């Protein structure tokens, strides 16, 4: 489980020459224990082949267009559950604190809800706890997989794998709610600007009763470690 989560974490980071050279090791980690269904493993190997054989600059451009420019494909988990709402800052603090309790320390420029970092954190936990926590943002993974499928992107396989590893499967209504949000093409600059506009912050009675706030509570609750789990003994600096 540890190797599998680490491999998926690496696949969701910005492509580098080091990643291209490590494709063989990543593939071995994905196949270890056969925790991911064979069909999804085959899809992951397709992505690995693209990374190993593709032009590095093209791979990097594709990554930026998918995950950096498109809000609906953001690799920051809290972006999908409350955007710029007032809860986001505290959620970040809570999650960062959980990382530090397990001796996982971030760089000053990093954000704790970055999915590769979250997967690195899960790799420090017992397998069952990691699978349980993967289920909390499972609806996010399922929605992103569907969006990537429509784009015919091999990155779809990473999110299918995360859904497969999660103990609880995503609810259809929660996935549908995310899929109804804007999902502009990366080349449509006007639509991208509109999608990234800050959402209004509401105060007063009923301000915290939205569907999004309910999803935030579920994700944040799932990110708390189970009682009695002791911190890991190592430190893993990541950005």
Q: What DSSP assignment string belongs to 188-203? A: -HHHHHHHTSPPPPP-
Distance (Å, whole) CA 97 – CA 152: 37
Distance (Å, whole) CA 15 – CA 178: 27
Q: For the chain, what is the domain count?
A: 1
In a domain, 44, yes or no: yes
pLDDT given at position 87: 67
Read off the pLDDT of residues 85-139 as tens digits, 9 standing for 90 and up: 566 666 676 777 777 777 777 666 677 889 999 999 898 889 999 999 999 999 9
Of 25 and 185, more confident: 25
In a domain, 203, yes or no: no
pLDDT given at position 85: 56
**Cβ-based neighbours of 147, under 8 Å, separated by 6 or more:** 72, 73, 179, 183
152 Rama sector, left if φ>0, alpha if ψ -120 to 50, beta otherwise:
left
CB atoms < 10 A from the CB of 15, how many?
20
User: What does pLDDT average to over the chain?
Assistant: 78
- Token pair of 47 as six digits: 């992505």
pLDDT cut 70: percent of the chain above it: 69
pLDDT band at 32 (very low <50, low <70, confident <90, very high): confident
Question: Residue 130: enclosing H or E segment and its boundaries?
Answer: helix 127-135
Distance (Å, whole) CA 117 – CA 223: 13
Q: What is the mean pLDDT of residues 73-86?
A: 76
CA contacts within 13 A on the Cβ side of 63: 18
In a domain, 102, yes or no: yes
Does residue 37 register a pLDDT over 70? Answer: yes
In a domain, 158, yes or no: yes
Question: Residue 8: enclosing H or E segment and its boundaries?
Answer: helix 2-11
pLDDT given at position 197: 55
Distance (Å, whole) CA 156 – CA 135: 17
The boundaries of the domain holding residue 146 are 2-181+208-222
Instruction: Give the single-character DSSP code of 114.
Output: B
- Token pair of 146 as six digits: 């569907």
Query: pTM score, two decimals?
Result: 0.75
Q: What is the mean pLDDT of residues 152-161?
A: 97
In a domain, 81, yes or no: yes
Q: Residue 142 in contact with residue 170, Cβ under 8 Å? A: yes
In a domain, 189, yes or no: no
In a domain, 198, yes or no: no
- Token pair of 118 as six digits: 């979250």
Does residue 60 register a pLDDT over 80? Answer: yes
């Amino acid at each position: 489980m540890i190797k599998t989560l680490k491999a998926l974490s690496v696949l969701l980071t910005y492509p580098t020459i080091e990643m291209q050279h490590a494709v063989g090791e990543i593939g071995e980690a994905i196949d270890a224990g056969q925790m991911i269904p064979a069909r999804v493993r085959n899809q992951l190997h397709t992505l690995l082949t693209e990374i190993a054989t593709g032009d590095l600059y093209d791979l990097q451009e594709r990554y930026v267009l998918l995950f950096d420019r498109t809000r609906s494909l953001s690799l920051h988990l809290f972006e999908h559950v409350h955007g710029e709402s007032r809860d986001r800052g505290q959620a970040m603090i809570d999650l960062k604190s959980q990382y530090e309790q397990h001796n996982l320390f971030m760089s000053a420029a990093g954000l704790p809800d970055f999915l590769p970092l979250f997967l690195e954190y899960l790799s420090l936990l017992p397998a069952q706890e990691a699978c349980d926590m993967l289920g909390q943002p499972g609806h996010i993974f399922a929605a992103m997989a569907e969006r990537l499928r429509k784009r015919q992107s091999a990155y779809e396989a990473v999110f299918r794998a995360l859904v497969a590893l999660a103990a609880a499967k995503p609810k259809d209504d929660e996935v549908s709610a995310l899929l109804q949000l804007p999902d502009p093409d990366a080349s449509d600059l006007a639509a991208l600007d509109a999608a990234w506009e800050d959402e209004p912050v509401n105060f007063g009675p009923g301000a915290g009763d939205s569907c999004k706030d309910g999803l935030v509570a579920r994700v944040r609750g799932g990110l708390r470690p189970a009682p009695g789990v002791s911190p890991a003994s190592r430190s893993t600096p990541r950005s």
